[in-house]
Structure 1
Amino acid sequence: MRWLSTIALHVLLLWSVTATAAQPPKQAYVSSAHPLASAAGIEILKQGGNATDAAIAVTAALAVVEPYGSGLGGGGFYLLRHAGKKTNYQFLDARERAPLAAHANLYRINGVVSTKLSLDGPLAAAIPGIPAALDELSQKHGRLSLAENLAPAIALARNGFAIDKVYQERASWRLAALQKDPESARIFLDQQQLPKTGWILRQPDLANTLSLLAAQGAKSFYQGPFAEKLVQNIQNAGGIWSLKDLALYQVKWRQPLIVPLAEQRQLITAPPPSAGGIAIAQSLLMLQRLPWQQAKPAQRAHYLAEVFRRAYRDRSLLGDPDFINNPIDALLARQHIVQMADSIQVDQATPSSHLPPGSVLYEGDHTTHFAILDQQGNAVAATLSLNMMFGAAFTVPETGVLLNDEMDDFAADVQGSNAYGLIGSQVNSIQAGKRPLSSMSPSFLEGPHEFAAFGTPGGSRIPSMNVLAMLEFLNGKAPQQWVASPRIHHQYFPDVLGFEPGALTEQQQQRLVKQGHEVKELTRNYGNQQVLWWQKDSGHSAAASDPRGSGASLSH
């Protein structure tokens, strides 16, 4: 294993891989959480667009057909692979920012934090990044025009589409909040009630907003009459956005986190303000010191739980890099990884309370992910979010823009926990203009012979899901097995090894309990992973969409 000094890591973050004589992918792929969004991406590829063009089309289409997971009122992270004589990677941070009027006691009433205020309504909304990201991606790396790339989404919004069981289920989870907001109820419900499958969802206001964006770019959203309409409606409903908030918003190009692994592979993943990328890197580095491949299922679950326990503990040290100095070097240093791995006992769980202090970030778990590979070898993996299902459940009148509730991803109460039982962290406290910490972690694994892309929604479970899929890849399994493998999870606190229904047998559970784990079978499956794979020696490529969702992996 090649370990990095502080200087070497900084060099590595600027490093690009010299491409070998790879055979270009024989087929392009788009894998997303909704068939109509995947089809929008394929349509753009057929028109001569590249992976970035398709990413713009898929992002916009998901805003229409999957309003519970992402949208123009939200944000996200984009990881890009640029093919050529040298393979270069980029990371676009389109995470939302806290309004300038936000402060540490924003949700505190009479000394007590009200979680309801950070979840529902416009006060819960941070300044969105997706409109700016679409324009930035188009200008910097698009081959087609922004108008061409947004055309499929505009048609979907204007003409409508039939909702499926996934929409119906997720709307049911937020029914009361949607009913409370007249505009959201008008658009997303059928006469105030949960719509039946097959009901046609039409969003003409959103189509108009997308058309404005297509014609004038991001300035149409963040400045001028449209911005004034947003701010006036949000302030009238109790929010704190200002025109200055919108005018000052910018996406950020950041250096992706690149970490060498065994067998000449490297992990390319999300840097802060994602905490997920570092958790994935730490987990993989620790696992390289453990015999996880030879272990039987219960013992492998033990190793994974102990690795996740330690990686998740360190996330409390991370925050928005524009506000704090993140200790990336220290968290990935050889000494730290070895110390954590060597503290794992073969037959005994380590109680989280026995580890040095740490805490876990706030986070919602309802996001979306897509992965795209074009026939030149360019790739995009993106994870997008509104936070809770349907975000703040507040739609700005006459715009079709459903707002996020990402302010709940801050530690509104650094001494307490949020709706997900996750402990607060001072470095992730609310501050004007700050980006909340996230687990969203679109990732690549690349070596001389293979390239793979990973990502999923799932809040705090995103890093563990990505690691589990990566282990299937490292074991030589096919992409459909990466996304279908049973899932287990540990996040330091609460000190519980959770698992999907049926992921562990009774006998395996008993062994884990004997080792000191508290095990808990979850009530439902989780995640919606989208992956792709390219065998560079042959040019063969493939993709897979999580069977737990209703997404589709389409080829061209």
Structure 2
Amino acid sequence: MNAQKADVRKLQKIWLSIFAMFLLSSQVSAQSQTIASDLAIARPVTSRHAMVVSQEAAASRVGIDILKKGGNAVDAAVAIGFSLAVTLPRAGNLGGGGFMLIHLSESKTTTCVDYRETAPALTTKDMFLNEKRQPDRMKSLFSGLSIGVPGTVAGLELAWRKYGSGRFTFAELIAPAAALARQGLMVDDDLADSLPFAAAALARHPSSAKIYLRPDKTAPRPGDHLALNDLVATLETIASRGAAGFYTGPVAEKIVAAVQEAGGRMTLEDLAGYHAVERAPVRGNYRGHGIVSMPPPSSGGVHIIEIANILEGFPLGAQGFNSAATIHAMAEAEKLAFADRSLYLGDPDFVQIPVSSLISKIYADDLRKKIVSDHARPAIEVSPGRPERYESDQTTHFSIVDENGNAVANTYTLNLPYGSGLVAEGTGVLLNVELDDFSAKPGAPNNYGLLGGDANAPAPAKRPLSSMSPTMVFKDGMLELVTGGAGGSRIISIVLQIILDTVDHGLNVAEAAQAPRVHHQWQPDELRIERGVSPDTIRILEAFGHRVVVREAIGSAYTIARKDGLLTGAADPRHRGALAEGY
């Protein structure tokens, strides 16, 4: 029994290490970079033809090279998606999943590719509960039960096959990633920041430790080299066989063996049966600007629009950028939306979701009446609304606009930095920990503190609810903003504030990326504020009744704006190695 308790304590320490790593994933240490207090110095990158903004410089350059060679935004997105699986292993991935928002300028249409992970067929509703019917974090974060069927490779292939320019084969778009993998990785920038925090989780798995750690299982030091030979072979297999090379055959067999050895229930049939799906985006309007974003199983688009609808009734521009009045209105509106998220959102293939009601202007009018201008409602007083009366979530993001005006906003994830920490032996593929995004039990928080109910309960082939929010904004039918972010549940707030900062406060995309952020997700009942907000403002918010928690940094965003033929782009300064590049 004592040995068992010791093992649990050891796993808990590893979990704390992973959580600390997660915090690092959304911030840069004070020693490396800080957010400038004077936003006037923030200048975006500009170009006339095309723009790529991502979290890692080599991947951004791969995308620009594809665009210069005549590829479109989708071609570049596929090449970047595979490249980030090499150069940004804690978030870029083959073993995770995500969402891609695609805008086609010629037809003026926008569509979504949903390549979110799915639960294996042997999944049960109570698989993350212990013998006392309580959530077991060891199962949902550290066992093979937490690993969903990866969707990234299928999603990238679907996007290329249907919306690529036709000038590149799938293999040609994978080739830059394979070349980067053959070179291996020099430990610097993001790797140097994140691997020390990941060492404990990676050390649990010999297949991971031999790639990402030193022989003594300590974190690599800046300047060390990481060899990625197995990942090269996997990329070459996908290049020669397409997505089938990942979902069937030797690669699939190795993934299943790794998951099952870790206690998971994934089978070869689960992998072979995976498919990415195309969905219609969710649409809203904010002060004359059209918002187009990801629908469920992302909660991002619905709640960005719901919160924006509520805030449309407040004169945010007149109240002032990051004033107490503006932050208070945002926090109170976010509480209401996140409460709705806990009850109504899930996989639309499994549950009925009142999307049109949640994004209704009339419903927003009703919710707005619950906000008092100088008083913060305690979370216990906030509950999900009644939208049916108005029927009418580690992660990285990249944004692309090509010279013809086509655009991609793509967000994908492993859920925690380096996912489960498990590399499937012989593949080089880091596997996700995505099924923790399900609600293990109604009212029980997940790793991000988010509450959920039966709508997001585990089930076979079901996609867990996500906060990932690739988003585009249009004015008079013309594309004006492509954005998205990383940061778990905070992504919704991050993308919302990029929109508010540009529309209401007139900030350019670099200023918006650099601006201090705030976040409230209803539960836990705290208003998170980045350093850089005035202490006087914080005191006013506390006088209103908010429990303010000051954070070093809240997530990251990668944004492109388009106006009068000029593209401006900004990579978030909270991450070393991020790059906006155009031509």
Fold in common (TM above 0.5): yes
How is 1:284-299 mapped onto 2 (pairs within 5 angstroms)? 284-296=308-320, 297-299=323-325
Residues 175 and 121 of structure 1: is their aligned pair in 2 closer, same or farther, counting only changes over 3 Å? Answer: farther
Task: Determine the C-alpha separation between the residues in 1 that align with 2:518 and 2:105.
Answer: 35
Q: Give the counterpart of 1:332 among 356, 359, 369.
A: 359
Confirm or deny that 1:271 pairs with 2:300.
no
CA offsets per residue over residues 359-403 of structure 1, 9 Å max, x none? Answer: xxxxxx620000000000000000000001100111111111110
Residues 450 and 134 of structure 1: is their aligned pair in 2 closer, same or farther, counting only changes over 3 Å? Answer: closer
Give the secondary structure class of the aligned counterpart of 2:316: coil
Q: Tell me how far 1:121 sits from its aligned partner.
A: 4.2
**Stretch deviating more after TM superposition (236-245 or 147-156):** 236-245
- Give the match for residue 480 of structure 1: 510
Task: Determine the C-alpha separation between the residues in 2 that align with 1:336 and 1:473.
Answer: 25
Task: Determine the C-alpha separation between the residues in 1 that align with 2:127 and 2:437.
Answer: 13
How is 1:395-474 mapped onto 2 (pairs within 5 angstroms)? 395-448=423-476, 451-474=480-503
Query: Which amino acid in the other structure matches residue 124 of structure 1?
Result: S
Query: Which amino acid in the other structure matches residue 245 of structure 1?
Result: D
CA offsets per residue over residues 443-477 of structure 1, 9 Å max, x none? Answer: 00111365101100111100111111111211332
- Give the match for residue 93 of structure 1: 114
Confirm or deny that 1:374 pairs with 2:402.
yes
Q: Give the counterpart of 1:58 among 77, 80, 92.
A: 80
Q: Tell me how far 1:530 sits from its aligned partner.
A: 0.4
- Give the match for residue 361 of structure 1: none
Task: Determine the C-alpha separation between the residues in 2 that align with 1:134 and 1:209.
Answer: 15
Q: Tell me how far 1:333 sits from its aligned partner.
A: 2.1
Query: Which amino acid in the other structure matches residue 338 of structure 1?
Result: D
**Stretch deviating more after TM superposition (226-235 or 128-137):** 226-235
Q: Give the counterpart of 1:341 among 368, 372, 376.
A: 368
Task: Determine the C-alpha separation between the residues in 1 that align with 2:196 and 2:143.
Answer: 18
Task: Determine the C-alpha separation between the residues in 1 that align with 2:163 and 2:451.
Answer: 39
CA offsets per residue over residues 44-68 of structure 1, 9 Å max, x none? Answer: 1122111001000110111111111
Confirm or deny that 1:209 pairs with 2:234.
yes
- Alignment gaps of 5+ in structure 1: 1-24, 359-364
- Give the match for residue 190 of structure 1: 214
Q: Tell me how far 1:304 sits from its aligned partner.
A: 1.0
Kept in 1: contact 2:196–2:220 (CA 8 A): no
- Give the match for residue 377 of structure 2: 350
Task: Determine the C-alpha separation between the residues in 2 that align with 1:110 and 1:346.
Answer: 46
Kept in 1: contact 2:448–2:489 (CA 8 A): no
Confirm or deny that 1:305 pairs with 2:331.
yes
How is 1:378-397 mapped onto 2 (pairs within 5 angstroms)? 378-397=406-425
Q: Tell me how far 1:109 sits from its aligned partner.
A: 2.7
- Give the match for residue 118 of structure 1: 140
Task: Determine the C-alpha separation between the residues in 1 that align with 2:334 and 2:384.
Answer: 15
Task: Determine the C-alpha separation between the residues in 1 that align with 2:462 and 2:580.
Answer: 35
Give the secondary structure class of the aligned counterpart of 1:193: coil
- Give the match for residue 194 of structure 2: 170
Kept in 2: contact 1:81–1:87 (CA 8 A): yes
Residues 450 and 131 of structure 1: is their aligned pair in 2 closer, same or farther, counting only changes over 3 Å? Answer: closer
Query: Which amino acid in the other structure matches residue 98 of structure 1?
Result: A
Q: Tell me how far 1:242 sits from its aligned partner.
A: 0.6
Task: Determine the C-alpha separation between the residues in 2 that align with 1:471 and 1:106.
Answer: 41
Q: Number of residue pairs matched?
A: 521
Residues 29 and 357 of structure 1: is their aligned pair in 2 closer, same or farther, counting only changes over 3 Å? Answer: closer
Q: Tell me how far 1:135 sits from its aligned partner.
A: 1.4
Kept in 2: contact 1:119–1:388 (CA 8 A): no
Q: Give the TM-score normalised by structure 1.
A: 0.91
Kept in 2: contact 1:120–1:177 (CA 8 A): no
Q: Tell me how far 1:165 sits from its aligned partner.
A: 3.6
CA offsets per residue over residues 500-523 of structure 1, 9 Å max, x none? Answer: 1232x221111111111111112x
Confirm or deny that 1:515 pairs with 2:544.
yes
Q: Tell me how far 1:357 sits from its aligned partner.
A: 4.3
- Give the match for residue 238 of structure 1: 263
Residues 529 and 348 of structure 1: is their aligned pair in 2 closer, same or farther, counting only changes over 3 Å? Answer: same
Q: Tell me how far 1:123 sits from its aligned partner.
A: 2.5
Kept in 1: contact 2:147–2:259 (CA 8 A): no
Task: Determine the C-alpha separation between the residues in 2 that align with 1:315 and 1:345.
Answer: 22
Q: Give the counterpart of 1:46 among 65, 68, 86.
A: 68
Give the secondary structure class of the aligned counterpart of 1:42: helix
- Give the match for residue 105 of structure 1: 126
- Alignment gaps of 5+ in structure 2: 1-46, 386-392
Task: Determine the C-alpha separation between the residues in 1 that align with 2:383 and 2:396.
Answer: 34
Residues 450 and 419 of structure 1: is their aligned pair in 2 closer, same or farther, counting only changes over 3 Å? Answer: closer
Kept in 2: contact 1:122–1:394 (CA 8 A): no
Q: Tell me how far 1:422 sits from its aligned partner.
A: 2.5
Give the secondary structure class of the aligned counterpart of 2:565: coil
**Stretch deviating more after TM superposition (50-59 or 234-243):** 234-243
- Give the match for residue 12 of structure 1: none
Q: Tell me how far 1:236 sits from its aligned partner.
A: 3.0
**Stretch deviating more after TM superposition (433-442 or 163-172):** 163-172
Q: Tell me how far 1:70 sits from its aligned partner.
A: 2.7
**Stretch deviating more after TM superposition (167-176 or 74-83):** 167-176
Q: Tell me how far 1:261 sits from its aligned partner.
A: 2.9
CA offsets per residue over residues 245-279 of structure 1, 9 Å max, x none? Answer: 0111100100001113323x210001000011111
- Give the match for residue 566 of structure 2: 540
Aligned-pair identity in percent equals 37
**Stretch deviating more after TM superposition (484-493 or 196-205):** 196-205
Task: Determine the C-alpha separation between the residues in 2 that align with 1:175 and 1:116.
Answer: 18
- Give the match for residue 13 of structure 1: none
Task: Determine the C-alpha separation between the residues in 1 that align with 2:118 and 2:541.
Answer: 42
**Stretch deviating more after TM superposition (71-80 or 161-170):** 161-170
Query: Which amino acid in the other structure matches residue 121 of structure 2?
Result: L
Give the secondary structure class of the aligned counterpart of 1:174: helix
